[in-house]
Amino acid sequence: MKDIAVVGVGYVGLVTGACFADLGNRVVALDIDAARIAGLARGEMPIYEPGLEELVERNVRAGRLHFTTSYEEALRSAEFVFIAVGTPSGVDGEADLQHVRAVAESIARAMTRPLVIVNKSTVPVGTGDWVADILRSTQPKPIPFAVVSCPEFLREGSAITDFMSPARTVLGSLDADAAEKVAQLHLPLRAPIVITDLRTAEMIKYASNAFLATKISFINEIANICEALGADIKEVASGMGYDPRIGRAFLEAGLGYGGSCFPKDVLALAYMAAEKGRHPQLLQAVMDINADSRR
């Protein structure tokens, strides 16, 4: 049993906290939104996810899951702190990291013991190093810490299953001991664990979502060609899907991708590439095709 703090009780944070509690850990979930925390204390869920209300209720009743607005309370006994706050798109498509910065500064001021700080938020490559710099510069006195990237791969509607039965767990850190500690937390999930450096772990998240978005735009492009040539796109997709190199997932032509992740993450990845002088032509085509599909 480990002591875990989770900052942010939105979609990712609440699922992460409740699932870790269900695995037998002691979890304190923190949010600065007092109304949201008060609602959770009454058993009111801020989001809908199948099975989440029962999962939260069970672990609150068992004394493994608590809610607070206080960083001091959340960090008092914690060994691990998971950051799970939003990173919305900025004006030009860049990820807005104001919430991540605020959390890092608050952790630095409130921590009284060594911590492993684990980032679950989808953040630009290099953010882990940036968070470490913020922590070091904000701490009133030096206290050891390590930063680990552990990107989430949760889908709305199946988030609890995705957490408990993941295809893989990705961990990135410059501190091998910290990465191993976080790996131990995930052992009960019985999934492959990929351990790499911070920047590579952050990139895996973006590359994964960009690839899935690419499959969606690709099949929509093929659907347009099928329509012009008189072929059946459903049968084309089915015939393609039998090839294990291609697979059946994300080969359903339609309105394109949407939701809270794919549009934001593909745009952010293209922005990161352009910032470094690269020309992400494929990503631009993926976004253009998707925009046409959604008209």
pLDDT in tens, 57-112: 999 999 999 999 999 999 999 999 999 999 888 888 888 899 999 999 999 999 99
Q: Do 130 and 25 share a structural domain? A: yes
| Residue finishing a domain among 167, 196, 225 | 196
- In a shared domain, residues 170 and 258: no
Same structural domain for residues 266 and 152?
Answer: no
Q: Are residues 41 and 79 in the same domain?
A: yes
Of the candidates 196, 219, 241, which is a domain's last residue? 196
For the full predicted model, state whether its pTM sits above 0.95.
Answer: no
Residue after which a domain boundary falls, among 141, 172, 196: 196
Question: What is the CATH classification number for the domain harbouring 23?
Answer: 3.40.50.720
Distance CA 149, CA 178 (A): 11
Query: Within this chain, do residues 16 and 149 fall inside the same structural domain, yes or no?
Result: yes
> If the chain, 295 residues long, is cut into consecutive pieces of 10 residues, what is the mean pLDDT of each piece?
96 96 98 95 91 96 97 97 92 88 98 97 94 97 97 94 97 97 97 98 97 98 98 98 97 92 94 96 97 90
Strand arrangement, sheet containing 193-196: 65-68, 26-30, 3-7, 80-83, 115-119, 145-149, 169-173, 193-196
Are residues 230 and 151 part of one domain? no
When divided into structural domains, the chain yields a total of: 2
Q: Is 277 left (phi over 0), alpha (psi -120 to 50) or beta?
A: left
Active site residues: 261
Both 129 and 251 in one domain: the answer is no
β-pairing, 169-173 vs 145-149, is antiparallel
Asked whether residue 211 falls in the same domain as residue 183, the answer is no
- Is 229 found in the same domain as 189? no
pLDDT, tens digit, 9 for 90 and up, residues 213-238 = 999 999 999 999 999 999 999 999 99
- Residues 217 and 268 reside in one and the same domain: yes
- Residues 172 and 211 both lie in one domain: no
Q: What CATH number is associated with residue 211? A: 1.10.1040.10
- Phi, psi dihedrals of residue 137, rounded to the nearest 5°: -80, -20
Q: Are residues 240 and 267 in the same domain?
A: yes
Range of the domain at 15: 3-196
